[in-house]
Amino acid sequence: MQPLVLDAGRRPVVADPPIVLAPMAGVTNAPFRTLCRRYGGGLYVSEMVGARALVEAARQGHLDLARDAGDADRWADDAPDSRQRTVLRAAFSPDEDPRSLQLYATDPDELHAAVALLAERDLVDHVDLNVGCPAKKVTRHGGGAALPWRTGLFARLVDAAVRAADGRPVTVKMRMGIDAAHLTYLDAGRAARDAGAAAVTLHGRTAEDAYAGHADWDAIGRLVDAIGDDVPVLGNGDIWQASDAVAMIARTGCAGVVIGRGCLGRPWLFRDLEAALAGRPVPPPPTLREIADMLREHARLLVDHLGEDAGMRDIRKHTGWYLQGIDLGRPLRLALRQVERLDQLDELLAVVDLDVEMPESALEMHRGHSHGPKPVSLPHGWLDSRDDPAPLAAAAADVVSGG
């Protein structure tokens, strides 16, 4: 399959194969991206970072993303504060190329300032905009998946990022809309194209759907029909194994796929995707022993990045994803969720029979969020007009979450 080429005039960003790691809050930090990149090519995007918080970190003199990527010793004894958490979410590994960052913003001026800062310091090669988060704390202020309902505001946001990016590609990740009665994706896709976006990603669910049911791949196809000749459309939603990506592309005509929950505890999925999209046989799944080694390596990378205390707190949720479907017994599974040290992780894994065959059912299990549908929380009167020029409340820019 053809590579994904994002070209806005400065230096093309190429994803070969056309696979993108979806930004996921608390997951797609530099250590996780490092591990996934070892298994295959593609574009690996950071966690979502608030534009306002990024500018504030720079104002305080604390924004050197390459330096901060492995500077765990500065907060090894204490949990990172809010400024440090912003920098860590935005940090890159020294060998990371291209450097791809997702931003969240609801104010065009703040977004312009953040992207201009990244461009002036040459900190990133690609900027992705999140207007797809379904979290209540985001949509109740008009942000995330609620924001494209305000067509003018959405267009100004994309335009502000493109103007500030100095030739770096800007892409947009969105959902179908607020709910089935308030779809926004076709209008938003056209507006993003007209504002100069280099690509658009559509998660085939609404904010109301959250993560329930099955993603609507046909909606991705409709967006391809609407703008696919002008800018690449990427598909997102329910790609759990390589065959799903092949099926999505065949069904929708999308230019590539964006992988979210499917790679949780399965970093080798990028190897499988690379093979499948090249028309090669998908390699056999890793053994349980190999998966345990991945878990250990993931923990080590997190400790190097965050320090042992924060790094081991971070790995706890991953233990369940790596070992989902394995009969460990409740006491051991609970102990893994409370692990505090690298040597303790080794001790816990030492009691697992790593020579048993990995059950096929475990490899096919879905992971991550599964909640929904749920009512969408919106500001008062939000649905009354799509053209209201009033700026969003200041609180809208302060909340950051994945989606």
13 and 76, same domain (yes or no): yes
254 and 300, same domain (yes or no): no
Per-residue pLDDT of the chain (403 residues; tens, 9 = 90+): 999 999 999 999 999 999 999 999 899 999 999 999 999 999 999 999 999 999 988 888 767 665 444 454 444 445 455 556 677 778 899 999 999 999 999 999 999 999 999 999 999 999 999 999 999 999 999 999 999 999 999 999 999 999 999 999 999 999 999 999 999 999 999 999 999 999 999 999 999 999 999 999 999 999 999 999 999 999 999 999 999 999 999 999 999 999 999 999 999 999 999 999 999 999 999 999 999 999 999 999 999 999 999 999 999 999 999 999 998 999 999 999 999 999 999 999 999 999 888 888 887 889 888 889 999 999 999 999 999 888 898 888 876 544 4
151 and 25, same domain (yes or no): yes
Q: Which of 36, 133, 254, 263 is catalytic?
A: 133
> Would residue 46 count as lying in a domain?
yes
- The CATH number of whichever domain residue 310 belongs to comes to 1.10.1200
Record the pTM: 0.93
> Would residue 403 count as lying in a domain?
no
- pLDDT value at residue 65: 61
252 and 393, same domain (yes or no): yes
- pLDDT value at residue 73: 47
202 and 298, same domain (yes or no): no
Question: 3-state SS of the chain?
Answer: CCCEEECCCCCCEEECCCEEECCCCCCCCHHHHHHHHCCCCCEEEEEEEEHHHHHHHHHCCCCCHHHHCCCHHHHCCCCCCHHHHHHHHHCCCCCCCCCEEEEECCCHHHHHHHHHHHHHCCCCCEEEEEECCCCHHHHCCCCHHHHHHCHHHHHHHHHHHHHHCCCCCEEEEEECEEECCEECHHHHHHHHHHHCCCEEEEECCCCCCCCCCCCCHHHHHHHHHHHCCCCCEEEECCCCCHHHHHHHHHHHCCCEEEECHHHCCCCCHHHHHHHHHCCCCCCCCCCHHHHHHHHHHHHHHHHHHHCHHHHHHHHHHHHHHHCCCCCCCHHHHHHHCCCCCHHHHHHHHHCCCCCCCCCHHHHHCCCCCCCCCCCCCCCCCHHHCCCCCCCCCHHHHCCCCCC
382 and 318, same domain (yes or no): no
83 and 148, same domain (yes or no): yes
- pLDDT value at residue 358: 80
- pLDDT value at residue 294: 97
> Would residue 17 count as lying in a domain?
yes
- pLDDT value at residue 262: 97
Based on the structure, what is the number of domains in the chain?
A: 2
- pLDDT value at residue 42: 97
> Would residue 402 count as lying in a domain?
no
Phi/psi of residue 214, nearest 5 degrees: -115, 140
pLDDT tens-digit series, residues 37-67? 999 999 999 999 999 999 988 888 767 665 4
> Would residue 84 count as lying in a domain?
yes
132 and 102, same domain (yes or no): yes
134 and 262, same domain (yes or no): yes
Task: In whole angstroms, give the CA distance from residue 171 to residue 197.
Answer: 5
- pLDDT value at residue 81: 58
> Would residue 152 count as lying in a domain?
yes
Phi-psi domain of 57 (left: phi exceeds 0; alpha: psi -120 through 50; beta: other): alpha
Closest Cα to residue 387, out of 155, 183, 223? 155
Q: Give the HSE-up count for residue 67: Cα atoms under 13 Å, Cβ half-sphere.
A: 6
- pLDDT value at residue 64: 65
- pLDDT value at residue 20: 98
- The CATH number of whichever domain residue 148 belongs to comes to 3.20.20.70
Task: In whole angstroms, give the CA distance from residue 238 to residue 370.
Answer: 11
**Cis previous bond, 373, omega within 30:** yes
Query: Cβ of 156: how many Cβ atoms within 10 Å?
Result: 19
72 and 177, same domain (yes or no): yes
Residue 244: alpha-carbon gap to chain centroid = 18
Q: Which two tokens stand for residue 169?
A: 């590609």
User: Which structural domain, as residue segments, surrounds residue 306?
Assistant: 288-364
> Would residue 171 count as lying in a domain?
yes
pLDDT tens-digit series, residues 104-129? 999 999 999 999 999 999 999 999 99
Place of tokens 């089935």: 180
259 and 326, same domain (yes or no): no
Task: In whole angstroms, give the CA distance from residue 172 to residue 22.
Answer: 12
- pLDDT value at residue 76: 43
Mean pLDDT of all residues belonging to the chain = 92
- pLDDT value at residue 90: 82
Task: Please say if 133 is a catalytic residue.
Answer: yes
Query: Cβ of 7: how many Cβ atoms within 10 Å?
Result: 12
330 and 385, same domain (yes or no): no
